[in-house]
């Protein structure tokens, strides 16, 4: 029945490490030189966030009166420059968010691109007024320009690594090379693109200049003679919006209006497409490698910034251990020390993941393939796997010989399972039946009918293992384990079948979710409603969990959202946690109460920071302090 698998190698894409969503379209997202921070341009504002956690550090920085087109950190990471369609450039202190001087003015049209010189003393800008200007970053004044020659919008500017040259790309389909000393045009116009140029960049070693265009091509130019190298890069199915070299100059990354990020690698003097990163749902507007080459940040018109694992340090980046579900994830859970997450997918695969704080999930320990008969699963707090089948079999998969191996249940298929917190008991449910078993011997302790003949959709033990609750039909049935027959209570009120249940940590409350889209909270002993039904979801509530302190409830739904409810105020704590692109099927609080893990039909597992720190970005919308999300896509 069980087919354990080890670390067989498989082909996969680099991992999506994180997604952060914002209120407005992201026009630019850039790493700081040390990779610890990311500056994000969203609408007319800037945010500086932690490059690993997404925690908001500075901002929003306000001042621009129109969309910000470009942002850059200075080489020392102390300043940020932003250009805008309002025709101005602003320089900000990256630590405080303050501006040391007034906005830089001089361009008579939208400013599309800015870049610091290698020493940070100068800033070059390109504008829709067809000119370039060079600015002193310590005084905020023009020191050169306007440099004229282009006959259409200047869309991209770049200093050479040596700081002696400036390259500019334009909608006139040409590239021009300018001397920093004096501002004379030294080379060009370089021609070859069939449409306007959108992005130019020097390789870190100064050997090449790459240009991206609305014609969908990337061209590479030899800086020695300013001739095209014959190494054009093609593959995008839409206009190129941004390009960059990897730190070792052996890869080029591109962003495109086709919603994709592509990585090209240099092999035998030719560029070939190494991988395509899919996930954005709007035009990708910016892309950048971190200085160590390990991560990529991308921004998009879908109002998100994403961080990807570039995997460029692996000698064979195509072959890595398998690390993802290929179908919807319908069970997730933290183990006791919060360092491990376990998951189960509808493809009948169970996996364990290491989950250090604020890092991407990594394959960890094991993954198990089950046969097609498997219908449900539960994990003990120690990660022991309990599996139920359509044939009515229950199996414990463990190296611990004290657990029984297989128990054939003389019932219809098993539809729900639960472990007691101490690991001594397991409960199983089928159509209108709940059974309790000794996990060591496999002996049946009791067998009881629910008040509904419908299948049992969820089972849960109370925190002290004194009671069992089962959801079936439109009711929740609760038994006292000491006297199952005499002490049975029924909670009624839902108008559609119940789907999920959870006890509060203090054993006083029980919450239930339903296809009627509501969450109901009951007094455990009296069966009375504590609140009126909690309404916020627009589709079936699929999963519930109390926070360890009992003050909050997290609920997941097929509406693709997670709601956090504050039981002290009977209101949504954070209105909606958004990010999944499919139904959210399972959620669980960490034992510390600081994070929530969620599994979805989109095949993703996400980790959400739900602490009450006012500086922590709390979701899909960083500006409004909804929770940040860490995303691991399983491809």
Q: Over the stretch 491-537, which tens digit does the pLDDT of each residue have?
A: 888 999 999 999 999 888 999 999 999 999 988 888 888 878 888 88
Reported as a single tens digit per residue, the pLDDT across 142-170 is 999 899 999 999 999 999 999 999 999 99
d(CA 560, CA 552): 20
Average pLDDT, the chain: 79
**Contact at 8 Å (CB) between 88 and 99?**
no
Reported as a single tens digit per residue, the pLDDT across 295-349 is 899 999 988 888 887 864 332 222 223 345 667 888 888 887 777 787 777 766 6
Exposed (0-12), middle (13-18) or buried (19+): which is 272, by Cβ within 10 Å? Answer: exposed
Which parts of 100-214 are beta strand (E)?
Answer: 111-116, 122-127, 132-136, 141-147, 154-159, 165-170, 174-179, 185-191, 197-202, 208-213
3-class secondary-structure state, position 68: strand
Instruction: Give the H or E element holding residue 72.
Output: strand 68-73
Confidence class for position 595, pLDDT limits 50, 70, 90: confident
**What is the share, in percent, of the chain residues with pLDDT greater than 90?**
32
pLDDT of residue 362: 43
Q: Select from 162, 116, 156, 160 the least CA-distant residue to 132.
A: 156
- SS3 for 414-440 is CCEEEECCCCCEEEEECECEEEEEECC
d(CA 537, CA 543): 12
Residue 352 burial (CB count, 10 A): 20
**Contact at 8 Å (CB) between 595 and 610?**
yes
pLDDT of residue 407: 60
Confidence class for position 8, pLDDT limits 50, 70, 90: very low
Range with lowest mean pLDDT among 35-44, 188-197, 259-268, 585-594: 259-268
Reported as a single tens digit per residue, the pLDDT across 195-248 is 999 999 999 999 889 999 988 888 888 888 888 876 567 666 788 999 999 998
**Contact at 8 Å (CB) between 352 and 367?**
yes
3-class secondary-structure state, position 76: coil
pTM score? 0.55
φ/ψ of 398, rounded to 5, equals: -160, 150
Residue 295: alpha-carbon gap to chain centroid: 14
Instruction: Give the H or E element holding residue 560.
Output: none
Q: In what order do the strands lie in the sheet with 165-170?
A: 154-159, 165-170, 174-179, 185-191
**Angstrom distances, CA of residue 158 to CA of 34, 72, 201, 551:** 20, 11, 6, 53
The greatest distance separating any two alpha carbons of the chain, rounded to the nearest whole angstrom, comes to 95
Domains and CATH numbers, the chain: 10-313 (2.130.10.10)
Q: Select from 205, 289, 286, 310 the least CA-distant residue to 249.
A: 205
Highest mean pLDDT: which of 431-445, 534-548, 570-584, 603-617?
534-548
d(CA 288, CA 273): 17
Residue 363 predicted with pLDDT over 50 = no
d(CA 551, CA 126): 53
Position with higher pLDDT, 406 vs 635: 406
- How is 458-508 classified by DSSP, letter by letter? EEEE-TTSSEEEEEETTEEEEEEGGGTTT-EEEEE--SS-EEEEEE-TTSS
pLDDT of residue 541: 94
């Amino acid at each position: 029945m069980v087919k354990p698998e080890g670390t067989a190698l498989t082909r996969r894409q680099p991992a999506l490490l994180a997604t952060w969503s914002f209120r407005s379209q992201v026009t630019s997202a850039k790493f700081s030189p040390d990779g610890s921070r990311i500056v994000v341009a969203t609408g007319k504002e800037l945010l500086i966030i932690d490059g690993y956690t997404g925690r908001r550090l500075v901002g929003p920085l306000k001042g621009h009166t129109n969309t910000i087109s470009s942002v850059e950190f200075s080489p020392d990471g102390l300043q940020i420059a932003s250009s805008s369609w309002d025709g101005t450039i602003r320089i900000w202190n990256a630590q405080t968010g303050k501006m040391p001087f007034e906005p830089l003015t001089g361009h008579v049209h939208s400013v599309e691109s800015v870049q610091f010189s290698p020493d940070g003393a100068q800033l070059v800008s390109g504008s829709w007024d067809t000119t370039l200007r060079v600015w002193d970053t310590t005084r905020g004044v023009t020191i050169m320009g306007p440099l004229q020659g282009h006959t259409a919008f200047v869309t991209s500017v770049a200093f050479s690594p040596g700081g002696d040259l400036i390259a500019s790309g334009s909608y006139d389909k040409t590239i021009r090379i300018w001397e920093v000393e004096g501002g004379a045009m030294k080379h060009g116009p370089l021609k070859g693109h069939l449409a306007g140029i959108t992005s130019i960049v020097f390789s870190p070693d100064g050997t090449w200049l790459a240009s991206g265009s609305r014609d969908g091509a990337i061209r590479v130019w030899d800086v020695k003679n300013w001739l095209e190298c014959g190494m054009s890069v093609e593959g995008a199915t839409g206009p190129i919006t941004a390009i960059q070299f990897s730190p070792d100059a052996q890869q080029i990354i591109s962003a495109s209006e086709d919603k994709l990020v592509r990585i090209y690698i240099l092999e035998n003097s030719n560029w070939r497409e190494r991988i395509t990163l899919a996930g954005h749902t709007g035009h990708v507007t910016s892309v950048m490698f971190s200085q160590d080459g390990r991560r990529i940040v991308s921004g998009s018109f879908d109002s998100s910034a994403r961080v990807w694992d570039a995997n460029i340090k692996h000698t064979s980046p195509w072959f890595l251990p398998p690390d993802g579900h290929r179908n919807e994830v319908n069970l997730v859970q933290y183990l006791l020390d919060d360092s491990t997450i376990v998951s189960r997918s509808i493809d009948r695969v169970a996996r364990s993941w290491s989950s250090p704080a604020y890092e991407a999930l990594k394959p960890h320990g094991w993954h198990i393939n089950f046969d097609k008969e498997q219908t449900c699963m539960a994990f003990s707090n120690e990660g022991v796997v309990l599996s139920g089948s359509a044939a009515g079999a229950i199996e414990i998969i463990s190296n611990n010989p004290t657990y029984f191996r297989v128990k054939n249940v003389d019932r219809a298929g098993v539809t729900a399972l639960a472990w007691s917190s101490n690991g001594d008991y397991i409960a199983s449910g089928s159509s209108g039946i709940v059974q309790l078993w000794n996990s060591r011997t496999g002996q049946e302790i009791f067998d009881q009918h629910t008040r509904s003949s419908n299948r049992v959709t969820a089972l849960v033990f109370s925190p002290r293992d004194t009671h069992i609750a089962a959801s079936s039909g439109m009711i929740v049935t609760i038994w006292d384990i000491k006297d199952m027959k005499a002490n049975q209570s029924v909670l009624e009120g839902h108008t559609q079948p119940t789907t999920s249940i959870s006890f509060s940590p203090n054993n006083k409350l029980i919450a239930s979710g339903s296809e009627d889209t509501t969450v109901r909270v009951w007094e455990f002993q009296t069966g009375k409603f504590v609140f009126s039904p909690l309404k916020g979801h627009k589709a079936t509530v699929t999963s519930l969990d109390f926070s360890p302190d009992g003050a909050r409830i997290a609920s997941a739904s097929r509406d693709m959202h997670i709601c956090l409810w504050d039981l002290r105020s009977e209101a949504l704590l954070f209105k909606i946690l958004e990010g999944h692109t499919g139904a959210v099927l399972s959620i669980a609080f960490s034992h510390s109460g600081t994070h929530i893990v969620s599994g979805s039909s989109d095949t993703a597992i996400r980790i959400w920071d739900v602490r009450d720190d006012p500086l922590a970005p709390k979701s899909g919308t960083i500006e409004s302090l909804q929770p940040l999300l860490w995303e691991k896509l399983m491809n």
